Structure 1
Amino acid sequence: MTLMPTTLTLSNTQLAQICTSQRWQYLMQRNAPFADYRALCLAADQAFSELNESDWLEAFAGHPMIGDLSTLEKKYSQGKQLSAHEQAGVNNAEQAVLEQLLTLNQAYLDKFGFIFIVCASEKSASEMLTLLTQRINNPRNQELITASVEQRKISQLRLEVYQ
């Protein structure tokens, strides 16, 4: 009996959980199935390289705003689901920091037309606030590039479940 090699095929729902850009999802579906995890990651990178500004904005819109107090407080109260490293920084998030994140993220949205995107894994609320404070001074074209790099990082973490 000959075993058929396994391939990876992700559903539309799975792809949407990785990235909400419809174009990215289409490009991924077009290149499926994938021989293995490495091929999946290469296809994801290739698909990201083909996105234009409106595609990136659609991807960014799929994220909750960092600084939404109810979302952040709920996330940070679920420390059992975070790694020990993440818990150390997150458990100390102060209300004032969360409020500053909300205020500054709204200013960021007003300035750039999209929310602040950062790969928040292993970052405390204070670290994200520092990054937001630095990045809000960037020109829009630079920030769009920075946000797209962060989107790729987030998507890569989400792809890891298919290893």
Structure 2
Amino acid sequence: MTLDELNALPAAAAEDSLLACCASRRWAAAVAGGRPYEGLPALRDAAAAALDGLDWADIEEALRAHPRIGERPEGRGREASWSRREQSGMDAAEERVRTALAEGNRRYEERFGHVFLICATGLGAADMLAALERRLGNPPEAERRIVRGELGKIVQLRLVKLLGRETEG
């Protein structure tokens, strides 16, 4: 899809497309409602502003669409495909690292009540595990800020993918 095509979609179709970037309905409606966008920077700025305006319930809605780190996303949709590529650093992970991630995910979810979220693009399994272990000690409010930031990174990368670009150029 091009930016012109996104700009031209009916509101509901634009929201559906944007949900692959962030599964918060409120976020998708805000970004779709800001069209037309002059270029990718304007779209990215609007996406960041919309994310900043979400309350925690909206963030939790978005988190429910993200697979646990180390688990292969099921499905054939755009979001599942992107998640598989984003977590490709897990492909060569040793069994001990996979086991530690599974246990860390369980402990994280018990502590914070939602999936551990990290922008996994470019990270190896050991990097993700180290971040998970480090973040388990965070106070809940600090962790919420980190999660919002990680979601923002993922959204920015996915907007580029949505527009059919693998890089920003």
TM-score w.r.t. length of structure 1: 0.81
Residue pairs, 1:30-69, within 5 angstroms: 30-68=33-71
State the partner residue of 1:125: 125
| Residue identity opposite 1:127 in structure 2 | D
CA–CA distance in structure 2, aligned partners of residues 102 and 91 of structure 1: 15
Deviations 1:108-159 (CA, angstroms, capped at 9, x unpaired): 0111011100000010111100000000100111001101100000011001
Q: Per-residue deviation at 1:33?
A: 1.8
Deviations 1:54-80 (CA, angstroms, capped at 9, x unpaired): 111111111001133xx18xxxxxxxx
Q: Per-residue deviation at 1:96?
A: 1.1
State the partner residue of 1:76: none
| Residue identity opposite 1:37 in structure 2 | L
The question of 1:136 aligning with 2:136 is answered: yes
Name which one, 1 or 2, has greater alpha-carbon Rg: 1
CA–CA distance in structure 1, aligned partners of residues 52 and 61 of structure 2: 15
**Structure of greater relative contact order (alpha carbons < 8 Å, 6+ residues apart):** 2
The question of 1:150 aligning with 2:150 is answered: yes
Q: Per-residue deviation at 1:12?
A: 2.3
**Percent identity (aligned):** 33
Q: Per-residue deviation at 1:92?
A: 3.4
Q: Per-residue deviation at 1:82?
A: 6.0
Q: Alignment RMSD, CA only?
A: 2.4
User: Where do 5+ consecutive residues of structure 2 fail to align?
Assistant: 74-83
Q: In the alignment, which of 13, 17, 21 is matched to residue 18 of structure 1?
A: 21
**How many corresponding residue pairs?**
146
State the partner residue of 2:81: none
Q: Per-residue deviation at 1:46?
A: 1.1
CA–CA distance in structure 2, aligned partners of residues 62 and 82 of structure 1: 15
> Residue 32 of structure 1 aligns to a residue in which SS?
coil
- Contact 1:8/1:36 (CA < 8 Å) preserved in 2? no
- Contact 2:69/2:105 (CA < 8 Å) preserved in 1? yes
TM-score w.r.t. length of structure 2: 0.78
Most deviating of 91-100 and 130-139: 91-100
